[in-house]
């Protein structure tokens, strides 16, 4: 065995998904100023709330950023969390997104062992998850998959079999599902029955 293959460390299968415990998604619009992320993060730790994942990026309006936080609501009632967040002067708006009502996406990057024997299988798996090969080495591939967090968990559980060198996930971003014209659906129901 060469040194390179020694570096291949399976990371131990899929991480616990937030769907297994009661989680909530907060989409927090904040002023795009230095230190705002620290304020939000410190508030969570100071009040004893667990953050499951967190993603931050500027919005289309450069004055604001959006922080998407997935919180473990067993650590504190959601209402307390949002009220405390609201007390931060830089927090403009907080939207709670019910996981059942959310479009949730997350990005995964992984470098996978893929020699001549397994390369085709890895590529097939990535294709099945509508991912892409983003870098190619002689014995490894780096792949990218953007999907719902639970799909990513599935992908991770499968890809780990080939030998993971490294894996990184971004934490999810989420938007509210668009309202469907409920009246029409009712009408359709009516026709069927």
Binding of residue 103 to another protein (CB under 8 A): no
Residue 176 pairs in a beta bridge with: 102
Residue selected from 16, 46, 180, 189 as contacting another protein according to rule CB under 8 A: 46
Phi-psi region of 2 (alpha: psi -120 to 50; beta: other; left: phi over 0): beta
x/- letters, 14..33, toward another protein (CB under 8 A): ----------------xx--
165 burial level (CB within 10 Å; 0-12, 13-18, 19+): buried
State the nearest-atom distance from the C-beta of 173 to another protein, in Å.
Answer: 21
Q: Does 83 bind another protein (CB under 8 A)?
A: yes
Distance between CA atoms of 172 and 151, rounded to whole angstroms?
Answer: 12
SS3 (DSSP) at 179: coil
| Nearest residue to 24 via CA among 62, 85, 68 | 68
Question: Minimum distance from CB of 43 to another protein (Å)?
Answer: 7
- Of the candidate spans 5-13, 81-89, 124-132, 177-185, the one that interacts with another protein by CB under 8 A turns out to be 81-89
Which one of residues 32, 84, 142, 170 is an interface residue with another protein (CB under 8 A)? 84
Distances (CA, A) of 79 to 12, 52, 71, 76, 89: 35, 17, 12, 8, 18
Minimal distance in Å, beta carbon 40 to another protein?
Answer: 11
CB of 50 or CB of 82, closer to another protein: 82
Q: Which residues bind another protein (CB under 8 A)?
A: 30-31, 34-35, 38-39, 42-43, 46, 77, 79-80, 83-84, 86-92
């Amino acid at each position: 065995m060469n040194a390179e293959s020694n570096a291949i460390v399976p990371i131990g299968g899929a991480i616990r998904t937030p769907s297994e415990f009661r989680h909530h998604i907060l989409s927090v619009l904040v002023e795009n100023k230095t230190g705002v992320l620290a304020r939000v993060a410190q508030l969570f730790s100071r009040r004893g709330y667990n953050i499951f994942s967190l993603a931050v990026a500027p919005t289309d309006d450069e004055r604001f950023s959006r922080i998407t936080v997935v919180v473990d609501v067993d650590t504190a009632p959601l209402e307390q969390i949002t009220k405390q967040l609201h007390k931060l002067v830089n927090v403009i708006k907080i939207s709670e997104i019910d996981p059942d009502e959310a479009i949730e996406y997350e990005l995964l990057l992984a470098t996978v062992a893929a020699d001549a024997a397994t390369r085709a299988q890895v590529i097939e798996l990535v294709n099945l998850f509508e991912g892409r090969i983003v870098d190619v080495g002689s014995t490894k591939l780096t792949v990218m998959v953007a999907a719902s967090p639970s799909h990513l968990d599935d992908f991770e559980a499968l890809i780990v079999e080939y030998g993971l060198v490294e894996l990184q996930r971004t934490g999810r971003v989420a938007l509210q599902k668009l309202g469907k014209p409920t009246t029409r659906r009712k009408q359709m129901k009516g026709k069927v029955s």
